[in-house]
Structure 1
Amino acid sequence: MNSIFFRTLLGACCFMMLLESCDSEATSVIGEDWIDNGTKVFYIDTFTVNTSTYKFDSIVVTTPSRYLLGGYTDPTFGHIKTTPYFELNSGSLYIDSDAVYDSVALLLDYTDYYYNDTIPTQKFNVYEVLETITPDEDYFYNTTTFKTDPTSIGSAQFSPTPIRSDSIHFTLHSDFGKQIFDDIQDNEINNSTEFLDKYKGIMIEADDANTTVIGISTTSKLRLYYSIANEDDTEDGYYDISINTSNSFNNITSDFSTTVFNTLEDQTDEVPSPLADNLSFIQAGSGLATRIDIPFIERINTLDGSGSIMDANLRISLKKNSSTDNLNTRDSLNVYIIDQKSEIVTTLIDYTGSTVYGRKLTDEFDSNYTTYTIPLKYFLDLKLNATNTSNLFLGITSQGFTDSVDRYILEGEGSEEKDLKTYLELNYALYNEY
């Protein structure tokens, strides 16, 4: 259908025959009451749309809304692992001189976020960070790391229950907590600068065999437990050290070696959907995104007469059964204008200045069919008026792209599922044809 459409664009007579054929499946006349005014409106859904997958070199993860802990292996996306780095915030730096140290624990508060299977036992190790946690050029990236002590200061094994429980209790090695306790109680450390000079932070690493990623709240804390003996009894107490959210972040690593996009080394690389079983992909955290190219839209300017796009929408659908309870997708997608290097130019907007999203449309008769629709009139007008139209593309990512690991499998333009293939539909008004 695409080749037929563009041959007609190159030949004026053939094009007019196509536009005036009300029986065509791809092009039809609407707004018949305009004909007397010399204006016709045509519905067209045969423009070439090319979809592909690319990967950002890195994504900014500064001040996340939650920390991500865990990892899992996906048959389509390979292995992803999330490792939070926490800088500690020492607080008041006072512990009663009569207090006797008991133990230390890391209390990680759940959020309502989790991804993949939480039923199996998960394993984690905690390490002390040996370098000052500071951002590179004002930002932390998903690729940022800091040196840690190779000896673990604590470990834990548990099955996460983010819906039923409030927090995770990591008991750490007693010596680690005792040193902090003594330094504060004995006034060896008197301010936050002295505290951070000695205690840079902590990092939590997931075992490679883990099966889930869980969300951890920014209210999580390190807690020192102690007791104070009174005349009649013993009073239990604790001293909390919070997380400095300004200098804490998620490191996110991925292994694509077994995937169809294992060739993505640079941000300029892409895997066209026809080479990936007619699919494109998005994965938050790792930087995977879908690219949309509409290469021949400018040929609409070759039509006889003046015309304009009245409305345009891109429709892109999830692969059937690729969204599950454990691997769920959201109701909207982020959409950006990107250049030939896949660098983000700007967030896509409409003519009111409002941000454009890909909005989910679920089939009322079959929930396995899920399509996102993206209004593109503004973008197409921009391409039609740009000096170099070939340098403008769309980049599609998920919501929560920097603080989740949500993944999407999207049908491409060559999908064998006719109702799910990616396509552009537009209404075009043509004035003064002759």
Structure 2
Amino acid sequence: MNSIFFRALFCACCFITLLASCEADTTSVSDVGEDWINNGTKVFYIDTFSVETSTYKFDSLAITGNSRYIMGAYTDPILGRIEATPYFELYTDDFDIDEDAVFDSVALLLNYTDYYYNDTLSRQKFNVYKVLEEITPDDDASYFYNTTTFKTETTSIGSIDFLPTPIREDSIHFTLNNAFGKEIFEDIQDNEINNTDEFTQKYYGISIVSDASNSAVLGIATDSKLRIYYSIPDVVEDDEYYYDLTFNSSASFHNITQTTTNPDLSSLVDQSDEISSTETDNLTYIQGGSGLATRVDIPYIETINTLNGSGSIMDANLRISLKHNSNTDNLSVRDSLNVYIIDQFNDTSTQLVDYTGSVVYGLQVEDELNNDYVTYVISIKYFLDLKLNEVNPQNLILGFTCQGFNESVDRYILEGEDSDESDLKATLELNYALYDDEYEY
């Protein structure tokens, strides 16, 4: 406890010294107000407050109700192997097939989304399996999670080996074994199954499993379907006859598993665990799907309150940058990050907002001196004001994830506060207005 006190006292003394050495700006600042200006307000730019960066991992991510499903796998050179396996409950409310119809074939029509990750120039292989359990959340859960799995048959009902083309084509045509499609077709045609409950009690669903050689993860649209093709004898029409089964969105999701090869992250067993960037080569990590997230503490900001006189944070920005050259064509990043307020146990409280109630994101900015550097800037004045007025300010911490955290596998490697690259260090920058102080500068 004494060590914490003396560290805080030391930081306060350093801050006062810093103010004495900073160049004060006494020109008019609209955010401060006329009364402050008349009282000789001094405005300081400060970028030497300590930040502490680390990596933590969510125990699980809720998956139900996503805007897409993902399937596939790739091996990240830093974080290891990650694999996405979707489970689909088939759905229909139409149980009428012409009694003269004759079964032809069955296929999965998987519509692409605009999402894909890693190497889509290599061939990808998948197998489809029948699920052997009812696809439903656990008794004590309302959602499916990235850790949820269900038993499947050991024999595949269909496979595909193809070059994905998410940009040039709109769907994947995935032929399945005729025996599987014909059984469904005849059960409905012969009135063995007449409603949704009867259907899901016999056909629990299907799962699509990635081959060990795969190198890409693909986004699959929620309007994808299983299609049974059939014909009607003696009908001289050119129409194509088919019967569609859709995916029940409330009972369809994707499981995501990660086999890490990074020994630095092996200690992340529980969500409350974190590992400092000082122990991971001055780096922190974010990875969608696997649950890896970056944490940023600002431990001594409350020392501002120890200054004589009154003051206010006018503006505050946190800058956090990608490791140089970690962003490639295959391992790309997006132009923004999600930012959350978390507690000391890494439990999420709320998404970060500003004083207007608008959600705050980490926004990518261009480096004027080096276009190869990728930096995200986060406006945190509201957060710091919360922290300064909190009884236990150490309970307010920032957590960072990528966009689409539970429906992507994007990964980010971020520089910590002690980065060897001085321009890429995680840094807090703030403008502080001080007035009615007792010191001369």
Fold match by TM threshold 0.5: yes
Q: Is 1:383 aligned to 2:378, yes or no?
A: no
* C-alpha separation in 2, matches of 1:181 and 1:8: 77
Which of 397, 404, 408 is the matching residue for 1:393? 397
Cα drift, residue 16 of structure 1: 4.6
Aligned to 1:141: 145
Q: CA RMSD in A?
A: 1.8
Which of 252, 255, 266 is the matching residue for 1:251? 255
Aligned to 1:132: 134
* C-alpha separation in 1, matches of 2:155 and 2:220: 23
Aligned to 2:118: 116
Q: Is 1:30 aligned to 2:15, yes or no?
A: no
Aligned to 2:32: none
8 A Cα contact 1:9 1:303, kept in partner = no
* C-alpha separation in 2, matches of 1:111 and 1:360: 24
* C-alpha separation in 2, matches of 1:158 and 1:167: 12
Which of 77, 80, 83 is the matching residue for 1:78? 80
Q: Is 1:198 aligned to 2:199, yes or no?
A: no
* C-alpha separation in 1, matches of 2:428 and 2:240: 66
1:99 maps to a residue whose letter is: A
Cα drift, residue 15 of structure 1: 5.3
* C-alpha separation in 2, matches of 1:86 and 1:16: 61
* C-alpha separation in 2, matches of 1:270 and 1:94: 56
CA deviation string 1:63-98 (max 9, x = no partner)? 111110100001111110000110111231111111
Aligned to 2:31: none
SS at match of 2:355: coil
Mean CA deviation greater in 318-327 or 210-219: 318-327
Q: How many pairs are equivalent? A: 423
CA deviation string 1:305-355 (max 9, x = no partner)? 111111111000111111122221111111000011100011111111111
SS at match of 1:28: coil
SS at match of 1:30: coil
| Unpaired runs of at least 5, structure 1 | 22-26
Aligned to 1:411: 415
Cα drift, residue 8 of structure 1: 6.3
* C-alpha separation in 1, matches of 2:265 and 2:235: 69
* C-alpha separation in 1, matches of 2:236 and 2:351: 66
SS at match of 2:199: helix
Question: Taking structure 1 as reference, are residues 294 and 98 closer, same or farther at Cα in structure 2, changes over 3 Å only?
Answer: same
* C-alpha separation in 1, matches of 2:316 and 2:12: 22
Aligned to 1:67: 69
1:203-242 mapped onto 2 (5 Å cutoff): 203-230=207-234, 236-242=240-246
TM-score (norm 1): 0.93
CA deviation string 1:243-269 (max 9, x = no partner)? 111211111111114353122111011
8 A Cα contact 2:318 2:429, kept in partner = yes
* C-alpha separation in 1, matches of 2:17 and 2:260: 49
Aligned to 1:24: none
CA deviation string 1:135-175 (max 9, x = no partner)? 23211111111121222111111111111111111111111
Which has the larger share of strand? Answer: 1
| Unpaired runs of at least 5, structure 2 | 1-6, 29-35
Mean CA deviation greater in 150-159 or 357-366: 357-366
Cα drift, residue 414 of structure 1: 0.6
CA deviation string 1:29-65 (max 9, x = no partner)? 2234677623211111111100000000001111111
Question: Taking structure 1 as reference, are residues 35 and 245 closer, same or farther at Cα in structure 2, changes over 3 Å only?
Answer: closer
CA deviation string 1:107-155 (max 9, x = no partner)? 1111121100011111111011111111232111111111212221111
Which of 30, 52, 55 is the matching residue for 2:57? 55
Question: Taking structure 1 as reference, are residues 304 and 91 closer, same or farther at Cα in structure 2, changes over 3 Å only?
Answer: same
Aligned to 1:316: 320
SS at match of 1:424: strand
Q: Is 1:188 aligned to 2:192, yes or no?
A: yes
Cα drift, residue 365 of structure 1: 4.8
* C-alpha separation in 1, matches of 2:15 and 2:157: 73
Cα drift, residue 235 of structure 1: 6.1
8 A Cα contact 2:277 2:416, kept in partner = yes
* C-alpha separation in 1, matches of 2:299 and 2:372: 30
Q: How many percent of aligned residue pairs carry the same amino acid?
A: 63
* C-alpha separation in 1, matches of 2:18 and 2:274: 35
Q: Is 1:99 aligned to 2:95, yes or no?
A: no
TM-score (norm 2): 0.92
